[in-house]
Chains A and B, each alone.
Chain A
């Protein structure tokens, strides 16, 4: 068992190239004055491509460091911050519309991810952009939810028969729907993970434990209880495709910094993870937020592998993969090893999400048949 101090420099990952500036600054926002003008140039580019510029602004603002930025860099961060403020308004407007749409059904509607961070006033929402609204509804209500959205001007995407069947048969959500006029996207989930992962995560228990919002205008919605919110975000990241890996890690970092200070949070979260079969993503979440972003995690949680199937050798392999896959998706961090790591993280997500007898036909369809159909249709 490695003490927490030692895992800060995992043996198997070469020290990250000095070029991961945005990660360095997110970890230690108090050091903003220590970067040269040309480092700021690279920092802004990495932050933009990793989609964390607004979050970086929030972190620097908290640290009282905004005055220490070169003016030109400050302008880009300020613009990102203003854009995130505008996104908050847009998300609120969207939520009010969704609340209206779903009101006749009288079912519990749980917000997930970004919209939940916003509605619950979480720190993780600060500076963040929102690409869609994710909701969780009871599986039994799925058909009526879909119908009522269609009646209210939402249009299903992924209209081809294969994708429709893929979502409906194997996935934990309906094919995303888009509002015909506003162009906004909604993901309607009935559980947190595709049933095909084999993870038996009890959605009814999550909905039962969900908490009301203080914001009276958003009373139609609930959000996951604190431990569940962290577990879901961890699950989304570590079973996901890693296309916005760093941004999601920053979400986790903020959730932990805010929620982790509550007494009993960690004991409750580990218990809940065991109950929901989500110890594996929780293990990854605490390890990589701590290693990369310096997120404070109690020693007792860090020391023992939360997932007992991860032995020392597997841990080294996972570190080699993830520590690279979390690098900002920017040309300055695009060496062959990092590209390979991102690809492997993507492959891993599919591997985890589907058993081989489903995965192989699916990938064959996506790689060979779908492009031909698209070409024939074009």
Chain B
């Protein structure tokens, strides 16, 4: 059963009472929240996700709830909590849905050490994955949204999970996080694109999330073999460029992009060097999504 199959009123009740658990890639999350914005956000962004039955094992129990005291009513706030622990300061209540997304990122990146975790988007075509590592502001999420609205499958927008046992990328096709101007750009990608309610004035400016394509969500159990690492950089009015990078440079850059490289020790080194060995590495700059598509099609031989 998928989330879209429960009526809105029942979703709201189940969410408020702690009876909503979702299969999100390799993880099972129980999400609890009395807030309407979270219930609506889930209905918009997670409709195709599988529900987990009541008595199953849950990996992570999270909630987004109003704090006790006056901030429940006056300039209301929301707290993210991971199984009773509150890792962040509260945010204004209208940011509850982005807070849930950020909270899930935090929970995964702090606990899922059975994977080498890279801060990178990752997409797949014909069984081969392309990893797009980049710092915030480089246009990685916009490019990722663009690619998955062409013929690429979304594996992840934020967290690339490399399985330590076989080096495959394990999908976690959660909503794609968009900021500021990219929200309009992604909305313009087509009528089928669904973007959730934007939240203004967050720590990252205005943010909104794009619903992951249904096909990507349905195929979340299919891992993919990494084939390319592409460092993207959007440059306003810039000329498109594409250059091959040395593997050692790429290795070092990926170490900086990894959440748990140090923590994994030798296993992390082996996973990352295996990844770099198996991939063609390039850096592309582009002034428009069309230019980026052209460069990527050329790289992938399409």
Q: Is the CB of A72 within 8 A of B84?
A: no
For residue A83, which residue of chain B has the nearest CB? B113
Q: List the B side residues contacting A70 at CB < 8 Å.
A: 57
Interface residue SS majority, chain A: helix
A50 to chain B, nearest CB (A): 12
Q: Is the CB of B28 within 8 A of A78?
A: no
> Which of B57, B111, B264 has the most CB atoms of chain A within a 10 A radius of its CB?
B57
Question: How long is the Cα–Cα vector from A76 to B107 in the complex, in angstroms?
Answer: 13
Question: How long is the Cα–Cα vector from A36 to B113 in the complex, in angstroms?
Answer: 25
Q: Is the CB of B84 within 8 A of A330?
A: yes
For residue B57, which residue of chain A has the nearest CB? A72
For residue A331, which residue of chain B has the nearest CB? B84
Q: List the A side residues contacting B28 at CB < 8 Å.
A: 72
A115 to chain B, nearest CB (A): 19
Q: List the A side residues contacting B58 at CB < 8 Å.
A: 41
For residue A73, which residue of chain B has the nearest CB? B57
Indicate which residue in A40, A83, A330 contacts B57 across the interface (CB closer than 8 Å).
A40
B5: interface (CB < 8 Å):
no
Q: Is the CB of B265 within 8 A of A89?
A: yes
B61: interface (CB < 8 Å):
yes
Chain A 27-42 interface 0/1 with B at a Cβ cutoff of 8 Å (1 = within) = 0000000001110110
Question: How long is the Cα–Cα vector from A37 to B59 in the complex, in angstroms?
Answer: 12
Q: List the B side residues contacting A86 at CB < 8 Å.
A: 263-265
Chain A 74-88 interface 0/1 with B at a Cβ cutoff of 8 Å (1 = within) = 011011001101100
Indicate which residue in B57, B113, B114, B264 contacts A38 across the interface (CB closer than 8 Å).
B57
Question: How long is the Cα–Cα vector from A251 to B85 in the complex, in angstroms?
Answer: 24
Question: How long is the Cα–Cα vector from A177 to B113 in the complex, in angstroms?
Answer: 29
A332 to chain B, nearest CB (A): 9
Q: Is the CB of A83 within 8 A of B263?
A: yes
B175 to chain A, nearest CB (A): 24
For residue B265, which residue of chain A has the nearest CB? A86
A45: interface (CB < 8 Å):
yes
A371 to chain B, nearest CB (A): 17
A9: interface (CB < 8 Å):
no
A48: interface (CB < 8 Å):
yes
Q: Is the CB of A79 within 8 A of B114?
A: yes
For residue A71, which residue of chain B has the nearest CB? B57
A49: interface (CB < 8 Å):
yes
B201: interface (CB < 8 Å):
no
Q: Is the CB of A48 within 8 A of B83?
A: yes
B56: interface (CB < 8 Å):
yes
Question: How long is the Cα–Cα vector from A40 to B58 in the complex, in angstroms?
Answer: 9
Q: Is the CB of B83 within 8 A of A45?
A: yes
A83 to chain B, nearest CB (A): 6
For residue B56, which residue of chain A has the nearest CB? A37
With contact pairs A37-B55, A37-B56, A86-B265 given, residues A330 and B83 touching in the complex (Cβ less than 8 Å): yes
For residue B54, which residue of chain A has the nearest CB? A38
Q: Is the CB of B83 within 8 A of A49?
A: yes
Count of chain A residues with a beta carbon within 8 Å of a chain B beta carbon: 24
A198 to chain B, nearest CB (A): 36
Q: Is the CB of B61 within 8 A of A45?
A: yes
Question: How long is the Cα–Cα vector from A320 to B151 in the complex, in angstroms?
Answer: 64
For residue A36, which residue of chain B has the nearest CB? B55
A174 to chain B, nearest CB (A): 28
A261: interface (CB < 8 Å):
no
Q: List the B side residues contacting A331 at CB < 8 Å.
A: 83-84
A72 to chain B, nearest CB (A): 4
For residue B61, which residue of chain A has the nearest CB? A45
Question: How long is the Cα–Cα vector from A150 to B112 in the complex, in angstroms?
Answer: 36
Question: How long is the Cα–Cα vector from A89 to B264 in the complex, in angstroms?
Answer: 11
B163 to chain A, nearest CB (A): 12
Q: List the B side residues contacting A79 at CB < 8 Å.
A: 111-114
Question: How long is the Cα–Cα vector from A44 to B56 in the complex, in angstroms?
Answer: 13
With contact pairs A37-B57, A41-B57 given, residues A49 and B265 touching in the complex (Cβ less than 8 Å): no
A144: interface (CB < 8 Å):
no
Q: Identify which of residues 333-360 in chain A touch chain B, using a CB-to-CB cut-off of 8 Å.
A: 334
Q: List the A side residues contacting B113 at CB < 8 Å.
A: 79, 82-83
Question: How long is the Cα–Cα vector from A38 to B267 in the complex, in angstroms?
Answer: 31
Q: Is the CB of A75 within 8 A of B83?
A: no
Question: How long is the Cα–Cα vector from A86 to B164 in the complex, in angstroms?
Answer: 15
Q: Identify which of residues 1-46 in chain B touch chain A, using a CB-to-CB cut-off of 8 Å.
A: 28
Chain B 66-84 interface 0/1 with A at a Cβ cutoff of 8 Å (1 = within) = 0000000000000000011
Question: How long is the Cα–Cα vector from A75 to B265 in the complex, in angstroms?
Answer: 18
Question: How long is the Cα–Cα vector from A86 to B52 in the complex, in angstroms?
Answer: 33
> Which of A41, A83, A85 has the most CB atoms of chain B within a 10 A radius of its CB?
A41
With contact pairs A41-B57, A45-B61, A89-B265 given, residues A75 and B84 touching in the complex (Cβ less than 8 Å): no
For residue A78, which residue of chain B has the nearest CB? B114
For residue B58, which residue of chain A has the nearest CB? A41
Question: How long is the Cα–Cα vector from A85 to B265 in the complex, in angstroms?
Answer: 10
Q: List the A side residues contacting B61 at CB < 8 Å.
A: 45
Q: List the B side residues contacting A44 at CB < 8 Å.
A: 57
For residue B112, which residue of chain A has the nearest CB? A79
Q: Identify which of residues 152-169 in chain A touch chain B, using a CB-to-CB cut-off of 8 Å.
A: none
Q: List the B side residues contacting A38 at CB < 8 Å.
A: 55-57
Q: Is the CB of A49 within 8 A of B263?
A: no
Question: How long is the Cα–Cα vector from A158 to B83 in the complex, in angstroms?
Answer: 30
Q: Identify which of residues 187-201 in chain B touch chain A, using a CB-to-CB cut-off of 8 Å.
A: none
A316 to chain B, nearest CB (A): 30
B97 to chain A, nearest CB (A): 23
Indicate which residue in A49, A72, A78 contacts B59 across the interface (CB closer than 8 Å).
A72
With contact pairs A49-B83, A86-B263, A330-B83 given, residues A76 and B59 touching in the complex (Cβ less than 8 Å): yes
Inter-chain pairs besides A86-B263, A331-B84, 7 sampled, C-beta below 8 Å: A37-B55, A37-B56, A38-B55, A49-B83, A49-B84, A79-B111, A85-B265
Question: Closest 7 CB pairs between A and B?
Answer: A331-B84, A72-B57, A41-B57, A79-B113, A37-B57, A38-B55, A86-B265
Q: Which residues of A are in contact with B by a Cβ distance under 8 Å?
A: 36-38, 40-41, 44-45, 48-49, 70, 72-73, 75-76, 78-79, 82-83, 85-86, 89, 330-331, 334
Contact sample, A vs B, 14 pairs, CB 8 Å cutoff: A36-B55, A38-B56, A41-B57, A44-B57, A45-B83, A49-B85, A70-B57, A75-B114, A76-B59, A79-B111, A79-B112, A79-B114, A82-B114, A89-B265
